[in-house]
Structure 1
Amino acid sequence: MRKPLLIMSAMLVTVLAFGQKKELKKAERAIKSGDLSEALAAIDQAEGMLGGADDALVAQFYVVKAEAYLANAGESDFDSMKKSAEALKMAKESAGGSKYADRIDLARQNLRTAIVNSAVADQNSQNYGPAAEKLYESYKVSPQDTSDLYYAAGNAINAKDYDLAMKYYDMLLDVGYTGIKKEYVATNTETGEIVAFRDENEMKTNMLTGLYSNPEDRMTESVRGDLLTNMTLIYMAQNKNEKALELMAKARQENPDDISLVRAEADLAYKMGDMDKYKNLMQEVIASDPNNPELYYNLGVGSAQAGNDDDAKKLYAKAIELDPEYANAKINMAALILKGEGAIIEEMNNLGTSAADNKRYDELKEQRVDIYRSAVPYLEDAVELRPNNKELVRTLMNIYSQIGEDGKFKAMKAKLESMD
């Protein structure tokens, strides 16, 4: 009595396998023809008959499922992309996956491209949270492409999801990520710009057009310093200054010549109020890039905060010398100059009515006018560079009134009224 049952069981498995193969073929034809609804329906039918299928058929099922959902995803359906990723994982892990290794690898490459392109679109639209999630999914699809995880962390920072960014950075540190890779470049003969290509074949193909010269392969610089810097800045943003100091010490030890780390350490010192350390570190930064006006400006801000007004003025002057249109440096210079009137006004208010006091009052009044005249050139330039800044216009208008520049006062008054 048992023998017929065994025969019936074998026949049932054969029928199910035949039915599954039929549905998979239907799904493959539907994918090729673009009938994705039909393809997904066939996948659902086949999945219901998956029990008892042999290893090769199981692997084939998941490969077809991955291809169907990838095709259905288009450029933006992330849910379909994730379903495709999960199916690829199942196909690769199945005992029969080796038979479809090439097909799995091709689907993986296509899926990663789709996810990354969708993430880039989100990033360009400033949708940083979804971009981070997609890039992390891309990394899971292709773990050897660790740069996806690095850019996922960057998008998490932009989304202000610092905990998620730290999770990704910790993962990158665990795998020893440096970002160093070989790249293939050539010089655009029209613009002189160095252009990077995806691979050697693409570079060689473009060289045939005659639009490029000087082809070469080179290694990119390490981004480990940037990674550690970003982690430090996250700790700073979270007010975890001790952790930031600890990580910064490690970063500087590993990358003693990385000037971005010196700058980050200077920022940390500034935030913690250690202005002497900030000044010393910024001098180190300036030495590495002595023609960068921003560095002098930032050091000027630090000096002003520490009460070193004379040093701040020299630094602002250097920033302006390097960049004559540096509006912020001009505004801060004017503010420092005008700061000097505070002591003068206080003394004027404390004077009496004696002849000596009246004489001293006139002297102080002239000193105050001199201060105004010293600030005017910087304020005039600042108003020209920032014509819509009402406070700048109002300040300059009031100074013109104090120094007797009636024509310029009226012009500034009219400008201010037009802004109101």
Structure 2
Amino acid sequence: MKTKILLLAAMTFTLAGFSQKAEIKAADKALKGGDAMAAKSSLESAASLIEAADDKTKGLYYFLRGKTYADLAKKGDATAFSDAATSFNKLIDLEATTGKAKYTDEANQHVASLVADLVNAAVEDNNNNKYKEAGEKLYMGYKLSPKDTSYLYYASSSAVNGGHYEDALKYYDELKEIGYDGGGVKYTALNVASGEREEMDQNQRDLYVKAGTHSDPLDEKIPSKKAEIVKNMALIYSQLGQDDKAMEAYKIARADNPGDVNLILNEANLHYKLGDKDKFKVLMAEAADLAPENADLHYNIGVINMEQGLIEEARASYKKALEIKPDYVNAQLNLSTTYVNEGNGLIDEMNELSTSRKRADLDKYDELKQKKDDLFLVAASVLEDALKVSADNQAILNQLKNIYGALGDNDNFMRIKGLLEE
């Protein structure tokens, strides 16, 4: 009885194997007939027993499955890319292990075609703002063709554009692991027949130029992308609230690129976010030394000095910004405000003296009032100069009207009021 049970089990297994091979054969026939959906159905029927099959059957199964899903992907099924890639990779790994590369060469050709389809689909996804899908396709393209590391870089860019920061970090981490640089030289030449500039490798370009089919060869240096990658990682860490990791990323990036003003500014902004305004000011000054003609840098240094009560330093920074950019409205307004604030700071002391009957106190009051008015007049002068280049700026006009009102200068108050009403 025991022998019969074993024999029955063996017969059942043999029948399953026949059924499996029949399904694979049916899939092959359907695929040759252009019916990828029928091929997919047959392969799904064979899938449950494939792990127990012999290597020859497995190889054919993965090969047909890769071709089937690649065909479905080409026909618009975006979900099929992953199955096609997985199947071709399993086939190639299997044949590398067994040493019998029956389908590997053809599979590699399909993989190359699949990578091209993935990249084209990713471009379309990006154009349609489907950034996550684009990133995933480009990442898959990189996994299928690891030599094309730029696909991984563009996958990270797509993820960043879509705000998919966790995905972007994953891609960036992998770029760091493989030592991606992204720099190099782009070799181009002018196609004599078409008049179009074409990019190619250096040897091919030089041969074409020598043959006369191309002219005007150019070597264009492409800068390294390492600093950009670390900077973006730092920005993402900051966005995700992982400020310690962001700070560490900036340190690494700045060690490699000490003169990169944008890196300094981003690190400065992180210190500002964390409440370290002193460090922010130091870094902004460092950036200003590297980019002395950047008006925004001087303006921001002025803002921080102003917040910290360093009025003279703030004024110097605003004046520097205005030297570079005379119509910098915010710098004009803030410079004027430094004088108004200083004048307002005298009012409390004046109020205390205003109730005194002592001659010395009354003289002191008059002295402080004159000083306040003088400061307000300087503030007004700054904005009058600003009106010469920004005649209809509402913020300037409103602040100027308030200053003249505080001075009791009715003529100028009404003049500015009229300009506002115009």
TM-score with structure 2 length normalisation?
Answer: 0.72
- Looking at structure 2, the residues matched to 233 and 132 of structure 1 have their Cα atoms a distance apart, in angstroms, of 19
Pairs within 5 Å for 1:361-372: 361=369, 364-365=372-373, 367-372=375-380
CA deviation after TM superposition for structure 1 residue 409, in Å: 1.8
2:304 aligned partner = 302
1:322 aligned partner = 324
- Looking at structure 2, the residues matched to 309 and 28 of structure 1 have their Cα atoms a distance apart, in angstroms, of 81
Pairs within 5 Å for 1:21-420: 21=25, 23-30=27-34, 38-49=35-46, 51=50, 54-73=57-76, 77-95=77-95, 98-124=101-127, 126-185=129-188, 197=199, 199=201, 213-216=216-219, 218=221, 220-256=222-258, 258-352=260-354, 356=363, 357=365, 361=369, 364-365=372-373, 367-378=375-386, 381=389, 394-399=398-403, 403=409, 404-405=411-412, 406-414=414-422
* Distance of aligned partners of 1:146 and 1:362 in 2 relative to their CA distance in 1, 3 Å threshold: same
**Matched residue SS, 1:78:** coil
The answer to whether the 8 Å contact 1:293/1:319 transfers is: yes
**Matched residue SS, 1:222:** coil
- Looking at structure 2, the residues matched to 347 and 130 of structure 1 have their Cα atoms a distance apart, in angstroms, of 66
Between the two proteins, the alignment pairs up a number of residues equal to 393
Q: Which has the larger radius of gyration?
A: 2
* Distance of aligned partners of 1:59 and 1:245 in 2 relative to their CA distance in 1, 3 Å threshold: closer
CA deviation after TM superposition for structure 1 residue 21, in Å: 4.4
Percent of aligned pairs with the same amino acid = 28
AA in 2 matched with 1:323: K
* Distance of aligned partners of 1:245 and 1:8 in 2 relative to their CA distance in 1, 3 Å threshold: closer
AA in 2 matched with 1:296: H
Structure 2, unpaired ranges of 5+: 1-9, 192-196
CA deviation after TM superposition for structure 1 residue 159, in Å: 4.4
- Looking at structure 2, the residues matched to 9 and 166 of structure 1 have their Cα atoms a distance apart, in angstroms, of 48
**Matched residue SS, 2:345:** helix
- Looking at structure 1, the residues matched to 279 and 64 of structure 2 have their Cα atoms a distance apart, in angstroms, of 63
AA in 2 matched with 1:371: A
* CA-to-aligned-CA distance 1:77-123 (integer Å, 9 cap, x gap): 53233333333333333438844444433433343344344444444
- Looking at structure 1, the residues matched to 330 and 390 of structure 2 have their Cα atoms a distance apart, in angstroms, of 8
**Matched residue SS, 1:95:** helix
* Distance of aligned partners of 1:270 and 1:16 in 2 relative to their CA distance in 1, 3 Å threshold: closer
CA deviation after TM superposition for structure 1 residue 412, in Å: 0.9
* CA-to-aligned-CA distance 1:168-210 (integer Å, 9 cap, x gap): 333332222222344324699xxxxxx8836559968998999
* CA-to-aligned-CA distance 1:361-413 (integer Å, 9 cap, x gap): 466445423322323333674575xx6xx655543554566653334422313
AA in 1 matched with 2:42: Q
AA in 1 matched with 2:107: I
Structure 1, unpaired ranges of 5+: 1-5, 31-37, 189-194, 415-420
**Matched residue SS, 2:219:** strand
CA deviation after TM superposition for structure 1 residue 61, in Å: 0.5
